Amino acid sequence: MITIWKQENRKLVEGTREDSPIWVDARNVTREDIRTLETEYQIETEIIMDILDQDELSRIDREDAYTLIIVRLPIFIAANEVSYFTIPLGILIFPNMILTICWADCEVLHDITNNRVRGITLGDLPAFVIRVLARADLIYLRYLKEINRRSNSIELELQKSVKNLELIQLLNLEKSLVYFTTSLKGNQLLFEKLMKTRLIQLDEEDRDWLEDVATDNRQAIEMADIYSNILSGMMDAFASVISNNLSIVMKRLTVISLVLMIPTMITSLFGMNIPLPFGNLPGYAGLSIVLGVCLVSSLVAMVLLGDKRPKRPRLDPVERKKLRRKNRAVE
């Protein structure tokens, strides 16, 4: 869908192509939108395909009629398996128009069109681009904090019981952090190129603002690296816990199987159709021997499988009273 925006009273409202300056917003691009961009705005097909490529990296190029900037923006889609990821946004700067192309909708563009970004103006197109980049950094930081909160809540669930669902959720969050880190580092290279080259005309105020945006982007990179390291360590810790629990279970099963082998061997021996020891004993002597062996085996299993953790020493009544008085004094 292609929407044309103009500015009235410092707010963005829908306009037409006759207005100047304008912002042509192409989001959720369809085949008809691609044909419109090619015919009416004279955008090359290769440029449009590069922008719509989900794996396109951040870059800046100079064409004959416009300057092309591709930047990676964060996006959140709850229905996806990996809810947090990044998408490319193509920004084409014309003399009296700025055109953006994105294959999906995202919070950055949504906030701009709803006039949630202060100080944005179409009269200064380079400043408009910097405002878009600054909003992208803000959304990156917000999503990183949300990822950290979600990982903490999943960690609390895993402390109660280790389940596959929570582990898969942690794995998806780790993928999101990898996507964020890669896109942020690409954006950082783009910012450095914008400050060094003269592909777009920036005044002194725009350069200062761009340096602040680059600083926020570096902060987002550091946060993404920290959260990624914490999440990787958490995954390794839970993998060790699962391996340790499996070893304990296998140990118990081995002890149980060894203990059960003894009565099984004895009952099999007395079930043979050959002369056996104690076979001539009167009454239920054989049955008593089998039951006795089973009882001894059960006692051995209880001893081997018993809880060997050290027990806390019990306090005397006098010591308990002293401890209670100390706790009350602290409170």
Please tell me the predicted confidence (pLDDT) of residue 95. Answer: 85
Average pLDDT value over all residues in the chain: 82
Q: How far apart are CA 135 and CA 112, in angstroms?
A: 9
Q: How far apart are CA 247 and CA 140, in angstroms?
A: 41
Is the bond preceding 21 in cis, omega lying within 30 degrees of 0?
yes
Tell me what the mean pLDDT of segment 78-88 comes to: 89
- With the C-alpha atoms ordered 273, 278, 279, 284, is the resulting torsion angle positive or negative? negative
Token reading at 20:
């100047």
Predicted confidence band at 291 (pLDDT cuts at 50, 70, 90)?
A: confident
Confidence (pTM): 0.75
Phi, then psi, of 242 in degrees rounded to 5 = -65, -45
Q: How many CB atoms lie within 10 A of CB 177?
A: 25
Q: What is the pLDDT of residues 155-206, one digit of tens each?
A: 887 777 666 788 888 889 999 999 999 999 999 999 888 888 777 888 888 8
Q: What is the pLDDT of residues 220-260, one digit of tens each?
A: 999 999 998 888 888 888 778 778 878 888 888 887 787 77
Superfamily of domain 2-242: CorA soluble domain-like (3.30.460.20)
* pLDDT exceeds 90 at position 143: yes
Contact of 73 with 87, CB cutoff 8 Å: yes
Higher pLDDT, 63 or 267: 63
Residue among 44, 171, 143, 23 nearest 87 (CA): 143
Residue among 81, 79, 142, 146 nearest 108 (CA): 142
Phi, then psi, of 17 in degrees rounded to 5 = -70, -20
Please tell me the predicted confidence (pLDDT) of residue 275. Answer: 64
